[in-house]
Structures are given as structure tokens and as C-alpha cells.
Structure 1
Amino acid sequence: MMGDRLVDQGALFYEFLLEEHVPGDHMLRSINRFVDLSTVRQHLAPFYSATGRPSVAPELLIRMLLVGYCHGIRSERRLCEEVHLNLAYRWFCRLGLEGEVPGHSTFSKNRHGRFRDSDLLRQVFETVVRRCMAEGLVGGEGFAVDASLIKADASRQEGVEGTKGLPPELSSRAIDEYLAVLDDAAFGAATVVTPKFLSSADPVVRWTGAHGGQAFFAYCTNYLIDLDHAVIVDVEASTTIRQAEVTAAKTMIDRTEERFDLYPERLAGVTAYGSAEMLGWLIHERGIEPHVPVFDKSKRRDGTFSREDFTFDAERDLYTCPQGKVLQQYRRNFKSPRTGITKAGTRLYRASQSDCKDCAFKERCCPNAPARKVPRSIHEGARDIARGIAKTDAYATSRRQRKKVEMLFAHLKRILGLGRLRLRGPCGAHGEFLLAATAQNLRKMAKLIPMPQPAGAT
């Protein structure tokens, strides 16, 4: 029997509980257990006026942003539409059925204003990390660090040559931020090399062709994760050059110890973090085992002897060549002691010309020089320690576990949709990376910690 025709007739009274219409296995219901915004108002209090019209609740804006980043909703206009229509989103944002969704311009005003000035997104991220620690998801013994390229909101066609600089008539928020970070080690001061191209829309971004295809403007998101459950314990934005990534890694390690009292025993990373300076910092200053491949370009490819063919004697502070001859820094005493350290952070050990002149191996050692010189980094001892660690089983385990950070980057781009930034400038990139890392940690807890069973359930 066919049912009755549908009649559009409004009822006078409704009995509707939003709680009952959100599925028990919905991701937002699981995430909601770990969202604590109780300190947001206290943190933002100095940035609000004591008089005037009441503003949109900051907790609502943060919850809406978390919804967007957890579900890959990149547009704030679309986010407002989705929250307006989706019952689960309304429930998570504490809006009910009749709550008014704020306009998209409210997000811009707050993200570029008080959220940025108060570093609120950093505070929210660290609150989630502390919850991960409280739930036992952070071991604190082994960390991994890595960086990934994220395309910037800058057109390839609108770049200008770096040697020409930016036109003086240009003015924008991104340019003001560019001038503010020229001395920042993660951005402008990362290298003295003039960029090949500058973007007039966002001068901080770097032109890179690291993906092997067309070059593009990009930022780097740097993750420091705990190897137990791949919880992100810190995140930092930087330019797309190795020096900036290494500096960001140092910043994250120091900040993690300061904020969370986490002091890892070992750090896994790729070769970019295996420079002599970085290894020396990890071993001698921080006491951390570097489970990192050593970055060493001393190997010669022309058939002549490399540095590894010379034997170093630490007690006598000299090298011995394959013929048994001695290479020293100095062969006479000076009234004023000299360190012998070059600008590149190395010491030069030289053989005497008389030893090299009639040597049978001269063509295989120094065919184009009267005597052989062997440079040795002041952190070469740390390199030797790292080479020894690379032969252990623990190193092999760390190398396998390091892939967890690569999986987080894949999740960031494919699931959360952060393949390209929407905000410009270092502050915009910093805010987007913090929100994305917060969403990933929340999703991690929702996945690993089961929902409590209702009373009476079996």
C-alpha cells in the first residue's frame, strides 16, 4: 500500500535533542573528550576591551577552526556554511539548533589580530600535547624530526628577481612581516644568499624545485614527534633551506624541554640534520644520541685519497698518511697561542713539502698541490660518535620508526588537505601549521583511546 502524500505542515511544538542525533562513533564525539578551552578567556583577557558590544565567543571560533582542520575544510566561508547545516558540527561547537554561526570575516579579524598577538594557537596546541602526555601517549625517550614543503599562496608568474628587490611602492601585511623577520634565524637570517626569486605577495617564501618538477614558492613545516605513538610534541614554520630546518629543530628541542620537561635520549632524522655542527650540538651540548646519517662530503671521486684514508691520532693531534708521514697544524711554536680554526669551523693539517715531493703516492694524494692538506671539523669527534651509533641495532630501529613522521606529513596533505597554504606571511604559516598539528594530535587520541562504554553496556 502506498503511503500518504507528504504535506509541508509545520508543528507548533518540537521535542528535539541534538545530543541524540550525533552518532556515538562520530569522530567529533570522540575528539570532544580531549578539547579543553577553559584557559582561553584568561589568556585572551588583555586583548579585549572592557567596554563595548560583546564579541563572538573565542571558544566558538577555536572549535569551528578545529572542525575545519579535522575534516579538511580549508575555506572559512565554506566552514561557516557547513557548521550552519551539519548537526554534529553544531553539537561540537555548542551552538544548538538556534545558535547563530559567526561570519567568515570574524575569523580574519581574530586570526590576524588577537589570536596572533596573544599566540593563542600555540597555547591551544600545547594544551592538547599535555593531554596526550596525561593519557600516556608520549614516552619522551625517542624523538624524530623532519620537515615537509607546503606550497605558499603565491603565484609563480608574479615573482621578481631577488637581485632587483621588491618595488618600493608595494605595501601589505605579508611585506611588513617579511621586514620583521629579516633577522630571524628560521627565515630571513637563515642564509646570506640572495634568493633567486621573490614573491611580491609573500616575500618570506622561498623559490624551490625540490620536488623535481616545476619550481614553486613554499614554506616548510617542521615536526618534532615522539616515536612511541607519533604524537607531535612541537611544530615550527621555516623557509625551505637546510640551515633553517636545522635551526627549527634546535628551537623545537629547546622549547619542548622548557614547556613539557621532555628530554629525549635519542633523536632520529634524515641526513639534513647530520651536519657536524648539529651533531656536536646534540652530543656535547644536549646529551642526545643522534640516530642520524652523517652529512659528510669529504669523500673524493677522482681516485685520490680521501680523508678517511688518513689515520687521526687524537692524543698527538695529527694525521698519518698511507705512507706513514705526519700531517700537523703547525710545525713551529708561536708566542701567542693560535686556535687554528678557520671560518668554516675546521682545522687544517698539512704535510711537509719535502715529504710529499718524492712520495710514491703523490699522484694519488695531491697531484695538483705541492703538499697534502686535510681539513678536520671541530665537531669531527661528534661525527665519529654518530658513525659508531649507526652500526647499532637501536639505530636500525630508529630508522624504521622515523617513517612515522613521513606518515604524518602524508596525512597532513592528503586527509587534512593542507597541500597549499591559505594565509600569507610567516605568522599565517605558523598559525596554519599549529592548527593542523593540533587536529592531528586530537585525531590520534580519538583513534587510540576508546570511547567509554555507557552504564550497563556489555
Structure 2
Amino acid sequence: MMGWQIEHASLFYEFNLEDRVPAGHLLRRIDEVLDLSFVRRHMASHYSVTGRPSIDPELMVRMLLIGYLFGIRSERRLCEEVDLNLAYRWFCRLDLAGKVPDHSTFTKNRHGRFRESDLMRTVFEMTVEQCLAAGTASTTHVAVDGSHMRASAAQDRCVASVTDLPSADRASRAVREYLSDLDQASPDLEGVRRSAAKRVSLTDPAAALSRKHGKARFAYGMNALIDTGSGMVLGVQAAPERFADEPEAARRMLERLRVRHDAVPQVLTADKAYGSGPFLAWIEERGIEAHVPVIDRTHQTAGRMTHADFGYDKEGDQYLCPQGKPLRRVGDASGEARRSGTTAYRSRASDCKGCPIKARCTTSSTRAISRSLHQDVRVTVQARQATEAFERSLRLRKRVERLFACVKHNDGLHRLRLRSLRGADEQFVLAAAAQNLKRMTKLLPADGPRTRTAAA
């Protein structure tokens, strides 16, 4: 016989929120390895000692982590989901009658207290410190890479140069932050030149115009440094989506790892985008063994003789052509060479005149060769490319692609919502923290001792 559901309105219910969250639920496993007790101490100086009590910052951090763990990008929708979902309420320490903050509260705190205190990055660094202290993550062998992320900026709303941007008093927050950051830009790697942007977005000027899949869009690069053994994200950095900005982002992540965690990797692997002489020299000077394919354009001579056909005399600081004629250094080695990263060598016209192999060497009256200031380091790294360890590193490097695949396809971070370089960095940091927390549930024992850390 078919049954009927009979509705009865009970006056009293026995309800325990703790019993409604399954033992294997992701949030319960994350709660076992997550410690946010430092948040209130970290934020204490950013709140007034008088007035009405504000929203607990730990509550907002937990809600934001839920958004990045489950791909909820809209803060308005996030508040609705936390209000309805019992597991979300349990993770946020809200009972059934607990009031969920308004979505506008996140906007105000993100652009105010959280950004001033660098709270989101501190949460991420806490996950790194916890795994390094527990021995579940290592800096022995690391990989670095960057991935294209679309900015919240329309392609057609742009100007020709920075000078065409509106003044600070009439500009949006993203433009004001961009203008204020121009004077605080970190110095480039020696020998790395950046050309001026051809188009600057009026909506988000820090984003770079980048072509992906045949379409030009304003974008940022999500740069990540991972432990190839555990898959833990050791560093994350936002940068405009430009080829020259990827090594600079890697340098910042490595420096942050050294300063904050007192850790220097033994081996770093990356793709060819990081194979420039200046970056390889910077890596090797810090005792890091670079397993990176070297950028080599010396063979691009339109079918004529390459650099390999010329011998370099280190003592005389000159090249010798196949006919034994010298190519001597030209220009100021300490000036232009530092700016370009190379030293120029040129033959004499009298030596080239009447040379029997000139047609295979050059079409001009003399032959010129450029030598990198970091050529010795390039040769050292190139010699490693034939080793088994180098080949293994290139295979392990692909593990960083898993991070980008999870962030984009599993967690839905295809396009950024927050504007400006700081907004992009905040989203990348939260996405990396969410990925680390998921990894920690597998790496750290659920019922064993856990290493708790506090903010510096």
C-alpha cells in the first residue's frame, strides 16, 4: 500500500549540528588540520578598541575558504550557501540561529583591514609552515610555472599608454592602486628589458594584453612554486601576463620562501620561459641547481655560420673565426652590456674583405657576435641537459600543471573577479591555500599530533 507523508508541526526538536556533518566530509577533515586561532591576534591592531563589536575576522576567513574550496566565486551567493548548508555553518562555527554576514562586509574588509594586514597571504603561509614543520612537504626539489588567468577587463576599454589614464581623483580603485604601485615596482633582473605596453586597460591597468587561443585579452599570470614530491604549493605570486614577468615572479617567491621559512631549494625545475641567462645566474648564485632548458637563439642565423663555429678566447676576451681572425669587444662593457645583458664582439672590415667563406658567414662588411654576460652559467646548465637527473626533473615539472588544472576546472577560477594586481594576488593566494588544505588532509594524520603556527 502506498504511504502518505503526514505533516506534523512539532513544538520542540532535538538537533545537534555536530551530528549532521559526516565523519568523512571534506570540511571536517580540513577542520582537523586547520588552525585559525592566530587571526584575531594578527588583526588586533586593525580594529578600534571602542564602538560596537564587528564581524569576527575568523568567520569571514572561513567563509572565503569555503568559497574557494567549493568553487563559489560570488560573495552574495556564498552568504546564501552558508546560510542554508549545515556543513558550512558547522565549519564557520555558526549555530542554527547564527547570523551570516552581509556580502558587502567582505568587500569592505578585503579592500581595508585584510589587505592592509596581508591576512590572506598569512593564511596561505601558515599552511606552508605547517607542512614544512611536520615534514610532509620539502624544498629539496621544486618546480615553478605560470598560467594565464583572464582579468575582469573588457578588451575594447583601453588607452594607448599610461599617460592617457584618468587622474587619481577621477579614477577607479584599480587605477589608483596601479598608479600608486608604479613608483614601488621592484627592479628588473639585470639584462631583462620590458617594452612599454601597447594598450592599457581603463578598467584594470595592471593586467597585460595577452593572446591565448588566438584571442587577445587582458590577463594576469598565476605563478606558483610547488614541492614536486608532495604537490604542496610553497609559493604563489600574481603578475601581469607577460613573458618577462615570469622569472621576476619566481624570484619573489623564492625570496619569500627563504625569508619567511628559512628554506632554500636544492633543485629548481621549470620550462624554457625561465631559461634566460640573468635568471639562471640568479638561481645558481644562491646555491640552487637549475634544471631548466636554456633559451638559445644562437642558431637563428638564417642558414649562415652560428656561434658554435667561432671559438671564444677567454684570456684575450675575443672570438676567433674559422679563418683565425679575431672578433674583439666593442662598446662599454659596464654600461650598455649591463642593460642588454650581452657583450658585442665584431671583426674588422679588412679581415672580412676577401675572406673565402664570407658568403657563408655574413652579408655585411663585418661579422658581429653577442655574448651573454652569464654565458658561463648557461654553459653549465646546458651541460646538465644530457643527464638523467635533468630528464627526471622535466617530468616532475609537469606536476605544477595539476595545480592550475584543479584551480581552473575543479574550482572554477577561469576568470578573476577582483581587479588590480593586489586583487589578483589575493585570489591566487586563497586558491593556493584551498589546494594546500585539501592536500594536507591526505598528508597529515587525522588523529596524530599537529603542528600549530601563529602569525609572525
Q: Say yes or no: TM over 0.5.
A: yes
SS in 1 for 2:369: strand
Structure 1 stretch 97-106 or stretch 189-198: which is displaced more?
189-198
Tell me which residue corresponds to 1:328: 328
Q: Which residue of 2 aligns with 1:346?
A: 342
What is the match of residue 171 of structure 1? 171
TM-score by length of 1: 0.91
Query: Residue 187 of structure 1 contacts residue 204 of structure 1 at CA under 8 Å; is this kept in 2?
Result: no
Aligned to 1:384: 379
2:130 corresponds to which residue? 131
Answer whether contact 2:31 2:91 (CA < 8 A) is retained. Answer: yes
Which residue is equivalent to 2:258? 257
Relative distance call for 1:340 and 1:18 in structure 2 (3 A) is closer
| Structure 2 counterpart of 1:57 | 56
Instruction: Report what 1:279 is aligned to.
Output: 280
Aligned equivalents of 1:289, 1:246: Cα separation in 2: 15
> What do the CA deviations read for 1:326-377 (whole angstroms, capped 9, x no partner)?
32327xxxxxx975863412222233333322221111112222x2222111
Distance 1:184 1:386, change over 3 A: farther
Alignment partner for residue 415 of structure 2, among 414, 420, 432? 420
Secondary structure at the aligned position of 1:139 is classed as: coil
Which residue in the other structure is 1:199 paired with? 201
Within 1, Cα distance between the matches of 2:334 and 2:322?
A: 27
- Between 1:89-98 and 1:163-172, the stretch displaced more is 163-172
Whole-angstrom distance in 2 between the partners of 1:318 and 1:193: 31
1:217: how far off?
Answer: 0.9
Match of 1:373 among 360, 365, 368: 368
State the shift of 1:154 in Å.
1.0
The residue type paired with residue 193 of structure 1 is S
| Contact 2:193/2:340 (8 A) holds in 1 | no
Is the counterpart of residue 237 in structure 1 residue 238 in structure 2? yes
Give the superposition deviation at 1:234: 0.9
Q: One-letter code of the match for 1:386?
A: V
**Are the counterparts in 2 of residues 163 and 194 from structure 1 also a CA contact under 8 Å?**
no
What secondary structure sits across from 2:164 in the alignment? Answer: coil
Q: What does residue 154 of structure 2 align with?
A: 155
User: What is the DSSP-based 3-state SS (H/G/I as helix, E as strand, rest coil) of the residue aligned with 2:182?
Assistant: coil
Note closer, same or farther for the CA distance 1:338–1:145 as it changes in structure 2 (3 Å cut): closer
Aligned residue in 2 for 1:402: 397
Secondary structure, aligned partner of 1:56: coil
- Return closer, same or farther for 1:183/1:241 CA change in 2, 3 Å cut-off: farther
SS of alignment partner, residue 328 of structure 1: strand
Distance 1:186 1:201, change over 3 A: farther
Cα gap change, 1:302/1:5 in structure 2, threshold over 3 Å: closer, same or farther?
A: closer
**Identity, % of aligned positions:** 47
Aligned to 2:454: none
CA contact (8 A) 2:140 2:265 kept: yes
**3-state secondary structure, aligned to 2:340:** coil
Match of 1:430, as an amino acid?
D
Residues of 2 paired with 1:308 and 1:230: CA distance? 40
3-state SS of paired residue (1:52) = coil
8 A contact 1:181–1:187 mirrored in 2: no
Contact 2:65/2:430 (<8 A) preserved:
yes
Aligned-partner SS, 1:156: coil
In 1, are the aligned partners of 2:298 and 2:307 still within 8 Å (CA)? yes
Q: Secondary structure at the match of 1:406?
A: helix
Q: Distance in 2 between matches of 1:362 and 1:447?
A: 65
- Report if aligned partners of 1:234, 1:252 keep a CA contact under 8 Å in 2: yes
| Backbone CA RMSD of aligned residues | 2.3
Which residue does 1:212 correspond to in 2?
A: 213
2:87 corresponds to 1:88: yes
SS where residue 436 of structure 2 aligns?
helix
Q: Normalized against structure 2, the TM-score is what?
A: 0.92
Query: How far apart in 1 are the matches of 2:222 and 2:244?
Result: 14
> Is the 1:340–1:347 contact (alpha carbons within 8 Å) kept by the matching residues of 2?
no
Q: 1:97 to 1:199 in 2, by over 3 A?
A: same
Q: Tell me the secondary structure at the aligned position of residue 114 of structure 2.
A: helix
Q: CA deviation at 1:213?
A: 2.1
Specify the code of the residue in structure 2 equivalent to 1:300.
Q
1:251-289, Cα deviation, whole Å (9 max, x unpaired): 111110111111111111111111111111111x21211
Deviations 1:186-222 (A, max 9, x none): 699996533222221211111111x132211111111
- Any idea what SS the aligned residue of 2:254 has? helix
Q: String of CA shifts for 1:312-332, please: whole Å, max 9, x gaps.
A: 2324433222223332327xx
Distance 1:109 1:302 in 2: 58
How far is the alpha carbon of 1:5 from its aligned partner? 3.9
Match of 2:451 in 1: none
Please state if 1:113 is matched with 2:112.
yes
The amino acid that maps onto 1:58 is P
**8 Å contact 2:194–2:244 — kept in the other structure?**
no
**Which amino acid is 2:144 matched to?**
V
Cα distance in 2, alignment partners of residues 266 and 21 from structure 1: 46
Does residue 33 of structure 1 match 2:32? Answer: yes
| Larger RCO (CA within 8 A; separation ≥ 6) | 2
Question: CA 1:406/1:186 → structure 2, altered by over 3 Å: closer, same or farther?
Answer: farther
